[in-house]
Structure 1
Amino acid sequence: MSSTPRAIASDAASHAGLLLRDWRNLRRLSQLDLSLEVGVSARHLSCIETGKAQPSREMISKLANALAMPLREHNALLMAAGYAPKYAETSLTTQELAPARRAIEFILRQQEPYPAFVMDRYWNVLMTNNALPRIFGKVRGRAPLHGNILHQIFDPNDMRPVVANWADVASDVIRHLHHQIAAAPSDIKARSLLNEVLKYPEVPAEWRTREPGMSPSPLLTTTFRNEAMELRFLSTFTTFGTTWNVTIEELRIESMFPADEETAEICRSIAAD
């Protein structure tokens, strides 16, 4: 027997309510705190969370904004309640995002002769400057095997053997990934990515859980080493500010700066070849 419209609406309300409760708990807000923020009674909010009340599209957006939900999660909450997503997710190559792409290309060029690249929410490399393949090619002897940064770092057949301080680097990016998952509980794809990289050999068991109170480091120091050279970089991450596009909000630009003059000189020399 097919579901009735009332049953479908009830299922949607229950789904949205559970997701809303998870986000409220994540933000450590009581029902009273959140209800005051959006201008409804705590009782009504309780009914929304239990699925007894079907929130309007406007109410869903108010709640998402009050909880400072990322745009992707805002969309997920709307869809859980049976509404269409509010924010677009478009390819970086579209005309709509051309201004953002030009800004990114400028940042990448400015980073020369040092590496820089752009990655999406799931650590896939979308763009690089010319320095990155030049330098990674010199360090590894050939281009990275994967187009995903996490797999590059964890796969013993990729960049991992030339990362001299692999344990420090890998543990730092795992903390980033755990932090990302904690900030978006409904993101199944991020959880799947975590499980994939944890299956690589010699990954410490304690990395499977998020360390309480630990936050990703604002600076990542990576040391690349082979028989001919050693390069040390400090990495910084750049993100866009206010945006109404899921793709742009989730982009990260990693710029790798030489941690010493020897590294800077080698990079300049490689660029001059």
Structure 2
Amino acid sequence: MDTAAVENQYFSDFAAALRYWRGKRGLSQLRLSVDAGISQRHLSFLETGRAQPGRDLILKLGLVLDIPLRQRNAMLLAAGFAPAYRERSLSDPELASVMQALDFMLAQQAPYPALVVDRLWNLVMANEPAARMMRWFLGMPAHAPIPRDGSVNVLKLTLDPNGLRRHLVNWEDVCTDLLQWVQREAMGDGPGSEATRLLDELMALPGIAAAASAPNLDRRALPFLPVQLKKDEVTLNLFTTITTLGTPHDVTVHELRLESFFPADAASRQWFEAQAAVKGG
């Protein structure tokens, strides 16, 4: 991990980060001091910078406050300690078992699409039905490769007027939900973060700000928000699930998400099954 890069992110010092996270979790100093097993006076001194924390206390506070691993590393660096959690590349041999598990889950999702993205929704893996669907909606050649190196951002691809958005029947509703994911990341990271910059980029896209300010409050429809895609005479109604890996001790693993798409009606199910039959799986 580039410790210099982490050191310059999010917060100027440990005290500012601790105040931010306690406020974000809605805990009083008394409640946090009890949960962390320290005195309220010591916690107050930590938040004002009058006292310096030990490494073990930072890790304990990170656990009590349920701080993401990336931000726990940032807090350690701000206090003068080395990061506690590694950030490996997906090609690292130590993550081979994780990649095998993700490959298995992607394969099991066929004939329906599934993607693996990082915390900023950069595409890192996709099954063949997902690649096939993306190629078709984007007008790409049948065998064109879909980049899986993080260079494609799924949120940008979805909300860009020249991307999938032109086929999204209910793009305003989908936009509201997608922006909420990024807003949560931006709030978790704090000011100056990559998530904040991504949110700014998305909000700068044509029509996004207006759509985000008028969320759909209709509660009479389905118990989930369908993603309605239409091209030519084909209309697909889908919904998604998000899966994360349990008990992670690596920043990369902690931030991976598997998004699985499911048909919301019989016609959509039949379309994916027919596509799989034509392509042989």
The TM-score, its normalising length taken from structure 2, stands at 0.85
Greater CA drift, 174-183 or 160-169: 174-183
Which aligned pairs between 1:26-175 and structure 2 lie closer than 5 A? 26-142=24-140, 147-175=152-180
Paired residue total: 254
Local SS of the residue matching 1:233: strand
Which stretches in structure 2 are left out of the alignment for 5+ residues?
Answer: 1-10, 216-222
Partners of 1:188 and 1:34 lie apart in 2 by: 26
Local SS of the residue matching 1:247: helix
Shift of 1:140: 3.1
- Sort the Cα spacing of 1:246 and 1:208 in 2 relative to 1 into closer, same or farther, 3 A: farther
Greater CA drift, 135-144 or 84-93: 135-144
Is 1:117–1:129's contact at 8 Å kept on the other side of the alignment? yes
- Give the superposed CA RMSD: 2.2
Which aligned pairs between 1:247-258 and structure 2 lie closer than 5 A? 247-258=252-263
Partners of 2:61 and 2:191 lie apart in 1 by: 16
Which aligned pairs between 1:198-213 and structure 2 lie closer than 5 A? 198-205=203-210, 207=212
Shift of 1:205: 4.2
Partners of 1:231 and 1:37 lie apart in 2 by: 48
Partners of 1:220 and 1:148 lie apart in 2 by: 21
Q: Percent identity?
A: 41
Shift of 1:138: 2.4
Is 2:182–2:199's contact at 8 Å kept on the other side of the alignment? yes
Which aligned pairs between 1:221-260 and structure 2 lie closer than 5 A? 221-260=226-265
User: Which residue matches 1:3?
Assistant: none
Is 1:31–1:46's contact at 8 Å kept on the other side of the alignment? yes
Which stretches in structure 1 are left out of the alignment for 5+ residues?
Answer: 1-12, 211-217
Greater CA drift, 75-84 or 13-22: 13-22
Partners of 1:17 and 1:85 lie apart in 2 by: 17
Shift of 1:219: 4.5
User: Which residue matches 2:198?
Assistant: 193
The TM-score, its normalising length taken from structure 1, stands at 0.87
Shift of 1:207: 3.0
- Sort the Cα spacing of 1:225 and 1:181 in 2 relative to 1 into closer, same or farther, 3 A: same
User: Which residue matches 1:184?
Assistant: 189
